[in-house]
Chains A and B, each alone.
Chain A
Protein backbone atom coordinates (compact mmCIF):
# COMPACT_ATOMS: atom_id res chain seq x y z
CA UNK A 1 0.00 0.00 0.00
CA UNK A 2 1.32 3.43 -0.78
CA UNK A 3 1.07 4.75 2.76
CA UNK A 4 2.89 7.95 1.93
CA UNK A 5 0.25 8.92 -0.61
CA UNK A 6 -2.54 8.09 1.78
CA UNK A 7 -0.90 10.25 4.41
CA UNK A 8 -0.81 13.09 1.89
CA UNK A 9 -4.48 12.50 1.11
CA UNK A 10 -5.34 12.97 4.77
CA UNK A 11 -3.29 16.15 4.88
CA UNK A 12 -5.19 17.40 1.84
CA UNK A 13 -8.54 16.62 3.45
CA UNK A 14 -7.53 18.40 6.66
CA UNK A 15 -6.52 21.45 4.60
CA UNK A 16 -9.96 21.41 3.02
CA UNK A 17 -11.64 21.12 6.41
CA UNK A 18 -9.51 23.97 7.71
CA UNK A 19 -10.53 26.05 4.70
CA UNK A 20 -14.21 25.49 5.31
CA UNK A 21 -13.76 26.36 8.96
CA UNK A 22 -12.02 29.61 8.05
CA UNK A 23 -14.76 30.52 5.59
CA UNK A 24 -17.37 29.76 8.22
CA UNK A 25 -15.65 32.00 10.77
CA UNK A 26 -15.27 34.82 8.26
CA UNK A 27 -18.96 34.70 7.49
CA UNK A 28 -19.94 34.54 11.13
CA UNK A 29 -17.85 37.53 12.18
CA UNK A 30 -19.17 39.68 9.34
CA UNK A 31 -22.82 39.39 10.26
CA UNK A 32 -24.72 42.28 11.80
CA UNK A 33 -28.16 42.26 13.32
CA UNK A 34 -30.62 43.85 10.93
CA UNK A 35 -33.38 46.40 11.41
CA UNK A 36 -35.94 45.50 8.75
CA UNK A 37 -37.32 42.52 6.93
CA UNK A 38 -37.77 43.67 3.35
CA UNK A 39 -40.14 41.72 1.18
CA UNK A 40 -39.72 41.72 -2.58
CA UNK A 41 -41.88 39.96 -5.11
CA UNK A 42 -40.49 39.22 -8.55
CA UNK A 43 -37.55 41.49 -7.86
CA UNK A 44 -39.57 44.49 -6.74
CA UNK A 45 -39.59 45.62 -3.13
CA UNK A 46 -43.11 45.70 -1.77
CA UNK A 47 -42.78 46.20 1.97
CA UNK A 48 -40.37 46.67 4.82
CA UNK A 49 -41.28 45.41 8.26
CA UNK A 50 -39.32 46.62 11.29
CA UNK A 51 -37.83 43.75 13.23
CA UNK A 52 -38.53 45.31 16.61
CA UNK A 53 -42.30 44.93 16.23
CA UNK A 54 -43.82 41.48 16.43
CA UNK A 55 -46.09 41.06 13.43
CA UNK A 56 -47.65 38.42 11.28
CA UNK A 57 -48.56 39.23 7.68
CA UNK A 58 -49.70 37.30 4.69
CA UNK A 59 -47.65 37.99 1.58
CA UNK A 60 -49.76 37.57 -1.51
CA UNK A 61 -47.45 37.18 -4.48
CA UNK A 62 -49.98 36.15 -7.09
CA UNK A 63 -53.27 34.45 -7.64
CA UNK A 64 -53.44 32.01 -4.79
CA UNK A 65 -49.75 32.43 -3.83
CA UNK A 66 -49.45 33.05 -0.11
CA UNK A 67 -46.58 33.09 2.38
CA UNK A 68 -47.16 33.92 6.03
CA UNK A 69 -44.33 36.08 7.31
CA UNK A 70 -43.85 36.28 11.08
CA UNK A 71 -41.60 38.72 12.91
CA UNK A 72 -40.94 37.72 16.47
CA UNK A 73 -38.18 38.66 18.91
CA UNK A 74 -36.16 40.40 16.23
CA UNK A 75 -36.21 37.40 13.91
CA UNK A 76 -38.16 36.77 10.74
CA UNK A 77 -39.43 33.48 9.40
CA UNK A 78 -42.16 32.06 7.25
CA UNK A 79 -44.76 30.22 9.29
CA UNK A 80 -46.68 28.70 6.43
CA UNK A 81 -47.03 28.89 2.69
CA UNK A 82 -49.02 27.20 0.00
CA UNK A 83 -46.11 26.47 -2.29
CA UNK A 84 -45.23 22.92 -3.16
CA UNK A 85 -41.78 22.45 -1.58
CA UNK A 86 -42.18 24.61 1.53
CA UNK A 87 -38.43 25.15 1.62
CA UNK A 88 -39.23 28.68 2.82
CA UNK A 89 -41.17 27.30 5.78
CA UNK A 90 -38.37 24.93 6.79
CA UNK A 91 -35.74 27.65 6.61
CA UNK A 92 -34.33 28.71 9.93
CA UNK A 93 -35.19 32.13 11.34
CA UNK A 94 -33.16 35.00 9.95
CA UNK A 95 -32.05 38.18 11.66
CA UNK A 96 -28.69 39.29 10.25
CA UNK A 97 -28.21 41.80 7.45
CA UNK A 98 -28.08 40.06 4.10
CA UNK A 99 -29.77 36.86 5.20
CA UNK A 100 -32.66 35.85 3.01
CA UNK A 101 -35.52 33.41 2.85
CA UNK A 102 -36.52 32.68 -0.69
CA UNK A 103 -39.71 31.12 -2.00
CA UNK A 104 -38.73 30.33 -5.56
CA UNK A 105 -42.10 29.21 -6.93
CA UNK A 106 -43.70 32.37 -5.53
CA UNK A 107 -40.74 34.54 -6.58
CA UNK A 108 -40.81 35.99 -3.10
CA UNK A 109 -37.72 37.03 -1.17
CA UNK A 110 -37.56 38.15 2.45
CA UNK A 111 -34.28 39.92 3.10
CA UNK A 112 -32.89 41.44 6.29
CA UNK A 113 -31.72 45.01 5.72
CA UNK A 114 -30.56 47.87 7.92
CA UNK A 115 -32.56 50.67 6.30
Chain B
Protein backbone atom coordinates (compact mmCIF):
# COMPACT_ATOMS: atom_id res chain seq x y z
CA UNK B 1 0.00 0.00 0.00
CA UNK B 2 1.42 3.36 -0.94
CA UNK B 3 2.14 5.84 1.77
CA UNK B 4 -0.50 8.22 0.51
CA UNK B 5 -3.10 5.50 0.55
CA UNK B 6 -2.14 4.56 4.08
CA UNK B 7 -2.33 8.12 5.32
CA UNK B 8 -5.71 8.62 3.68
CA UNK B 9 -7.04 5.39 5.08
CA UNK B 10 -5.86 6.14 8.60
CA UNK B 11 -7.36 9.60 8.33
CA UNK B 12 -10.70 8.19 7.27
CA UNK B 13 -10.66 5.61 10.04
CA UNK B 14 -9.77 8.27 12.60
CA UNK B 15 -12.78 10.27 11.46
CA UNK B 16 -14.90 7.13 11.68
CA UNK B 17 -13.71 6.47 15.22
CA UNK B 18 -14.56 10.05 16.18
CA UNK B 19 -18.05 9.75 14.76
CA UNK B 20 -18.57 6.45 16.58
CA UNK B 21 -17.47 8.17 19.77
CA UNK B 22 -19.96 10.94 19.18
CA UNK B 23 -22.80 8.53 18.43
CA UNK B 24 -22.00 6.73 21.65
CA UNK B 25 -22.49 9.99 23.52
CA UNK B 26 -25.91 10.39 22.01
CA UNK B 27 -27.09 6.96 23.12
CA UNK B 28 -29.28 7.06 26.24
CA UNK B 29 -27.25 6.17 29.33
CA UNK B 30 -27.59 2.44 29.84
CA UNK B 31 -28.11 1.58 33.49
CA UNK B 32 -28.34 4.77 35.50
CA UNK B 33 -26.27 5.23 38.65
CA UNK B 34 -23.17 3.63 37.16
CA UNK B 35 -21.27 6.42 35.44
CA UNK B 36 -18.86 5.43 32.74
CA UNK B 37 -20.79 2.49 31.37
CA UNK B 38 -20.05 2.54 27.69
CA UNK B 39 -20.56 0.34 24.68
CA UNK B 40 -17.14 1.15 23.27
CA UNK B 41 -18.14 1.64 19.63
CA UNK B 42 -14.87 3.35 18.61
CA UNK B 43 -13.06 0.17 19.56
CA UNK B 44 -14.43 -1.48 16.47
CA UNK B 45 -11.94 0.65 14.57
CA UNK B 46 -9.19 -0.15 17.06
CA UNK B 47 -9.73 -3.90 16.82
CA UNK B 48 -9.95 -3.71 13.05
CA UNK B 49 -6.67 -1.81 12.77
CA UNK B 50 -4.96 -4.07 15.26
CA UNK B 51 -5.71 -7.16 13.22
CA UNK B 52 -5.66 -5.81 9.70
CA UNK B 53 -2.69 -3.51 10.05
CA UNK B 54 -0.28 -2.94 12.89
CA UNK B 55 -0.24 -1.95 16.53
CA UNK B 56 1.33 1.38 15.59
CA UNK B 57 -1.56 2.22 13.29
CA UNK B 58 -4.17 1.20 15.83
CA UNK B 59 -2.40 3.16 18.55
CA UNK B 60 -2.08 6.26 16.39
CA UNK B 61 -5.73 6.31 15.35
CA UNK B 62 -6.88 5.66 18.92
CA UNK B 63 -4.70 8.46 20.23
CA UNK B 64 -6.01 10.88 17.62
CA UNK B 65 -9.58 9.87 18.39
CA UNK B 66 -9.20 10.22 22.17
CA UNK B 67 -7.49 13.59 22.01
CA UNK B 68 -9.80 15.20 19.45
CA UNK B 69 -13.02 13.88 20.97
CA UNK B 70 -11.97 14.97 24.45
CA UNK B 71 -11.06 18.41 23.15
CA UNK B 72 -14.25 18.76 21.16
CA UNK B 73 -16.81 17.32 23.50
CA UNK B 74 -15.13 17.02 26.86
CA UNK B 75 -12.66 18.54 29.24
CA UNK B 76 -9.35 17.71 30.86
CA UNK B 77 -11.04 15.11 33.04
CA UNK B 78 -12.56 13.33 30.03
CA UNK B 79 -9.13 13.39 28.42
CA UNK B 80 -7.30 11.84 31.36
CA UNK B 81 -9.90 9.12 31.90
CA UNK B 82 -10.13 8.23 28.22
CA UNK B 83 -6.38 8.30 27.78
CA UNK B 84 -5.75 6.06 30.77
CA UNK B 85 -8.40 3.56 29.79
CA UNK B 86 -7.53 3.68 26.11
CA UNK B 87 -3.79 3.16 26.47
CA UNK B 88 -4.10 0.30 28.94
CA UNK B 89 -6.75 -1.25 26.74
CA UNK B 90 -4.79 -1.18 23.53
CA UNK B 91 -1.56 -2.36 25.17
CA UNK B 92 -3.31 -5.34 26.70
CA UNK B 93 -5.03 -6.15 23.42
CA UNK B 94 -1.71 -6.05 21.58
CA UNK B 95 -0.05 -8.35 24.11
CA UNK B 96 -2.90 -10.84 24.08
CA UNK B 97 -3.05 -10.81 20.31
CA UNK B 98 0.68 -11.59 20.18
CA UNK B 99 0.28 -14.72 22.29
CA UNK B 100 -2.11 -16.01 19.62
CA UNK B 101 -4.06 -17.83 22.30
CA UNK B 102 -7.30 -15.88 22.02
CA UNK B 103 -9.80 -15.08 19.30
CA UNK B 104 -10.65 -11.56 18.16
CA UNK B 105 -13.64 -11.55 20.49
CA UNK B 106 -11.54 -12.60 23.45
CA UNK B 107 -8.99 -9.88 22.77
CA UNK B 108 -11.76 -7.33 22.48
CA UNK B 109 -13.30 -8.49 25.75
CA UNK B 110 -9.96 -8.03 27.47
CA UNK B 111 -9.70 -4.61 25.87
CA UNK B 112 -13.12 -3.59 27.11
CA UNK B 113 -12.46 -4.74 30.66
CA UNK B 114 -9.00 -3.15 30.70
CA UNK B 115 -10.47 0.12 29.50
CA UNK B 116 -12.97 0.21 32.36
CA UNK B 117 -10.45 -0.88 34.96
CA UNK B 118 -8.04 1.79 33.75
CA UNK B 119 -10.69 4.45 34.14
CA UNK B 120 -11.62 3.30 37.62
CA UNK B 121 -7.98 3.39 38.67
CA UNK B 122 -7.73 6.99 37.50
CA UNK B 123 -10.95 7.77 39.38
CA UNK B 124 -9.61 6.18 42.57
CA UNK B 125 -6.38 8.10 42.20
CA UNK B 126 -8.04 11.45 41.56
CA UNK B 127 -10.78 11.27 44.17
CA UNK B 128 -8.51 9.54 46.66
CA UNK B 129 -11.23 7.16 47.81
CA UNK B 130 -11.13 3.40 47.57
CA UNK B 131 -14.91 3.11 47.69
CA UNK B 132 -15.07 3.71 43.97
CA UNK B 133 -13.52 0.28 43.58
CA UNK B 134 -17.02 -1.08 44.15
CA UNK B 135 -17.77 -0.02 40.59
CA UNK B 136 -15.26 -2.54 39.32
CA UNK B 137 -17.73 -5.35 39.72
CA UNK B 138 -20.52 -4.19 37.40
CA UNK B 139 -17.91 -2.69 35.09
CA UNK B 140 -16.16 -6.04 34.73
CA UNK B 141 -19.44 -7.50 33.58
CA UNK B 142 -20.42 -4.65 31.28
CA UNK B 143 -16.87 -4.51 29.89
CA UNK B 144 -17.07 -8.20 29.03
CA UNK B 145 -20.42 -7.94 27.30
CA UNK B 146 -19.51 -4.76 25.44
CA UNK B 147 -16.13 -6.19 24.49
CA UNK B 148 -17.78 -9.33 23.16
CA UNK B 149 -20.23 -7.40 20.99
CA UNK B 150 -17.55 -5.04 19.69
CA UNK B 151 -15.21 -7.96 19.06
CA UNK B 152 -17.90 -9.75 17.09
CA UNK B 153 -18.55 -6.71 14.92
CA UNK B 154 -14.83 -6.26 14.45
CA UNK B 155 -14.34 -9.90 13.49
CA UNK B 156 -17.16 -9.71 10.97
CA UNK B 157 -15.72 -6.53 9.50
CA UNK B 158 -12.35 -8.23 9.17
CA UNK B 159 -13.89 -11.21 7.45
CA UNK B 160 -15.85 -9.14 4.97
CA UNK B 161 -12.88 -6.96 4.12
CA UNK B 162 -10.56 -9.90 3.64
CA UNK B 163 -11.02 -9.84 -0.10
CA UNK B 164 -10.45 -6.08 -0.37
CA UNK B 165 -7.56 -5.02 -2.51
CA UNK B 166 -6.10 -2.15 -0.56
Q: How many A-B residue pairs have CB under 8 A?
A: 54
Any chain A CB within 8 A of the CB of B110? Answer: yes
Nearest-neighbour CB distance to chain B for A32, whole angstroms, equals 13
Interface residues of A in 89-105 (CB under 8 A from B): 90-91, 98-100
Interface string of B67-102 (1 = CB under 8 A from A): 000000000000000000000000000000000011
Segment with Cβ contacts to A, from B18-26, B46-54, B125-133: B125-133
> Do residues A16 and B140 form an inter-chain contact, with CB atoms below 8 A?
yes
> Do residues A90 and B33 form an inter-chain contact, with CB atoms below 8 A?
yes
Any chain A CB within 8 A of the CB of B141? Answer: yes
Interface residues of A in 16-71 (CB under 8 A from B): 16-17, 19-20, 23-24, 27
Interface residues of A: mostly helix, strand, loop or mixed?
helix
Nearest-neighbour CB distance to chain A for B50, whole angstroms, equals 15
Q: Measuring CB to CB, which residues of chain A are less than 8 angstroms from any residue of chain B?
A: 2, 5-6, 8-9, 12-13, 16-17, 19-20, 23-24, 27, 87, 90-91, 98-100
